Structure 1
Amino acid sequence: MTSKIAITPRSLSGGGHPALSMLTDKGYELVFPAPGQTPSEDALLSSVPGCVGWLAGVEPIPALVLDQAEGLRVISRNGVGVNNIDLAAAERHGIAIERAAGTNARGVAELAIALMLAGFRHVPWSDAMLHQGRWKRRKGVEAEGRVLGIIGCGAIGQTVARIAIGLGMKVLGHDPYPPKGFSPEGYRQASLDEVFEMSDAITLHCPPSENPLIDASVIARLKSGVLIINTARAELLDDEAVLAGLESEKVSCLATDVFREEPPEPSNLLSHDRVIMTPHAGGFTEESVTRATETAVYNLLKVLEQ
């Protein structure tokens, strides 16, 4: 009987990837619960049971699905975050969890910088005005000499820091576990208070906690006109507080690549004309997808073939 492997990342389930041939060459049958889409819980329940491996994306993987996934030995993420997985349930069933750490760092970092520059220069708003036949301008700011605060200084945060320094920015980095040996000129490890109070732009590259990292009390302490970039997790922000910050212009722009639901439901925050959105595309580059897929496949085989 052929062993099955579920493939659920949207970047792979719609059109496949050459790296997946490493699995079929080994005799595995690939199962695609929702080609080109984020699979629903029902789709997972109908497809994952009977699979020995699972190459997973950012879709929620609850205990209910894992409880039904008899025979599943390993979940291999095509990224580093695993907060979408019920880890207690996985441990209870003896399911190994593998991560493709660092593989999408460059793609996410470049998008974070692109969002920052687009916010500094009001690129989406200007484009929208011209498409409407309206010749209107908003005065922007230049990156050189500005302070970028980075919360989360792993592979992505460090890459962001290097690019920002290349733009002439001063960089403050905060991480509860500061990276060893990372101290380029123009970068300084800082407290969370310093990042909040001194940054002209703040970019998030950390996992979510029980409560939002940026809420009304934090926004009150930020520099006036701060730009917030979020390519990490939507739960890091208090949406109502950020909306109030935009309305008061304490926050000049929110640029986000992540949402609580994907695709997101319309909201007052997301419809604001100083919110820039991209559809969770940080790691969706040719290079990042290839690195992440190859690593995820290697990690699957490492567990299944041992």
Structure 2
Amino acid sequence: MKGKIAITPRSLSGAGHPSLSLLTDQGYELVFPAPGQTPTEEALLSSVPGCVGWLAGVEPIPARVLDHADGLRVISRNGVGVNNIDLAAAERLGIAIERAAGTNARGVAELAITLMLAGFRHVPWSDAQLHQGKWERRKGIEAEGRTLGIIGCGAIGQTVARIAIGLGMKVLGYDPFPPKDFAPEGFRMASLDEIFQLANAISLHCPPSDKPLVDLQVVASLKPGVVMINTARAELIDEAAVLRGLKDGQISCLATDVFRTEPPEASELHSHDRVIMTPHAGGFTEESVTRATNTAVHNLLKVLGQ
């Protein structure tokens, strides 16, 4: 046996995946700290020490876990975000961090568009009314001719833009590092203020910073009735500010696939009838899981083979 590799993404630790056989074929033993679940810190502390590699999901990976991970050489994410990892601790300990950039872009982008359209047409609310035996309707809006603001124009944001343009939408994009080779007809770069003032829908595809991107000041500046879509990170929005926006009509709908704790705790925001929720399912498609797993596995073997 060459060593142990921890497998923690829920999409892999419960049902497995054929790509994982590439690791066992190379002589590695697979360790599953919490099959089918997001592992707790205690589960990681009891399972990761002694592993040379770690195929990681979105679970928090604090310095305490890394300090106890004797022999760990590489953490390979099955996605692109690494804000769940204490990167300073990883660097201090000489642990390589690998990402599966772009592998879930199509899956996340399609969900973002799905959530936008569901918000435009009040699909979850309408479904809930009918399940309760009520014949009620809310007037929706059509996508064609509307403006979508995309914050974060990497692989996911660009894919969202292409789909939205196909729907006949105008698309404004913001990114602190604008893509140089992305300029389809119907798309242009814009400032954050312009997006907040003009967009009928805003889709978030950027990493979080020290403070929320969408706070009370931003909510007050939004075009009234905007649909807000978050398939990136929950920390991008101030929940109290967004709840106020929903109550006063500044925000027509919040559609979110991400939460500060997963599964989320009950809250006034999450119970609001203009909030659409999905269980961090953006990259949870057959195709995205396969692409991400293949890349994550190959990244592990690349580093461990050095």
TM-score range, shorter chain: over 0.9
Counterpart code for 1:217:
Q
- Per-residue CA deviations over 1:49-69 (Å, capped at 9, x if unaligned) read 000000000000000000000
**Distance in 1 separating the partners of 2:296 and 2:229:** 27
Distance 1:66 1:249 in 2: 45
Structure 1 counterpart SS, 2:106: helix
Letter aligned with residue 245 of structure 1: G
Whole-Å separation in 2 of the counterparts to 1:259 and 1:129: 25
Matches within 5 A, 1:1-306: 1-306=1-306
Structure 2: how far apart are the matches of 1:2 and 1:113? Answer: 44
Q: Distance in 2 between matches of 1:96 and 1:208?
A: 22
Counterpart amino acid of 1:69? A
Q: 1:150 is matched by which residue type in structure 2? A: I
Q: Which structure 1 residue ranges, 4+ long, deviate > 3 Å from structure 2? A: none
CA distance in 1, matches of 2:33, 2:120: 40
Tell me how far apart the structure 2 counterparts of residues 57 and 11 of structure 1 sit (CA, whole Å): 9
Query: How far did 1:2 drift?
Result: 4.5
Deviations 1:215-251 (A, max 9, x none): 0100111001011000000000000000000000110
2:297 partner letter: V
2:299 maps to a residue whose letter is N
Matched residues in 2 for 1:138 and 1:193: separation? 29
CA distance in structure 2 between the partners assigned to 1:180 and 1:285 by the alignment: 29
Distance 1:135 1:192 in 2: 40
Q: Kindly state the Cα deviation for residue 293 of structure 1 after the two structures are TM-superposed.
A: 0.1
Aligned to 2:221, the other structure's residue is in SS state coil
Task: Could you tell me which runs of 5 or more consecutive residues in structure 1 were left unpaired when the two chains were aligned.
Answer: none
Q: 3-state DSSP class of the match of 2:218?
A: helix
RMSD, aligned CA: 0.5
Deviation at 1:211, TM superposition (A): 0.6
Partner Cα distance (1:240, 1:99) in 2: 32
Letter in 1 for 2:33: P
Q: Percent identity?
A: 82
| C-alpha distance in structure 2 between counterparts of 1:11 and 1:181, whole Å | 33
Aligned partner letter, 1:269? L
Residue 131 of structure 2 aligns to which amino acid in structure 1? H
Q: In structure 1, what is the Cα distance between the partners aligned to 2:205 and 2:93?
A: 30
**CA separation in 2, counterparts of 1:22 and 1:203?**
36
CA distance in 2, matches of 1:254, 1:157: 18
Supply the AA of the counterpart residue of 2:83. Answer: N
In structure 1, give the amino acid aligned to 2:175: D
Per-residue CA deviation, residues 25-62 of structure 1 (Å, 9 max, x unaligned), is 00100000000000000000000000000000000000
Whole-Å separation in 2 of the counterparts to 1:150 and 1:16? 34
- Structure 2: unaligned runs, 5 residues or longer: none
Separation in structure 1 between the aligned mates of residue 232 and residue 141 of structure 2, nearest angstrom: 25
**Structure 1 residue identity aligned to 2:50:** G
Q: Using the TM superposition, give the Cα deviation of residue 120 of structure 1 relative to its aligned residue in structure 2, in angstroms.
A: 0.2
**What is the distance in 2 between the residues matched to 1:74 and 1:218?**
39
Residues in 2 aligned to 1:154 and 1:88: alpha-carbon distance in whole angstroms:
24
In structure 2, the residue corresponding to 1:149 is in which secondary structure? strand
Instruction: Kindly provide the CA deviation profile for residues 155-196 of structure 1, in whole angstroms up to 9, marking residues without a partner as x.
Output: 000000000000000000000000011000000000111111
One-letter amino acid of the counterpart of residue 273, structure 2: D
- Secondary structure at 1:220's aligned position in 2? helix
TM-score (norm 1): 1.00
The TM-score with structure 2 as length reference comes to 1.00
Cα separation, 1, equivalents of 2:58 and 2:205: 16
Matched length: 306
Distance 1:219 1:239 in 2: 11
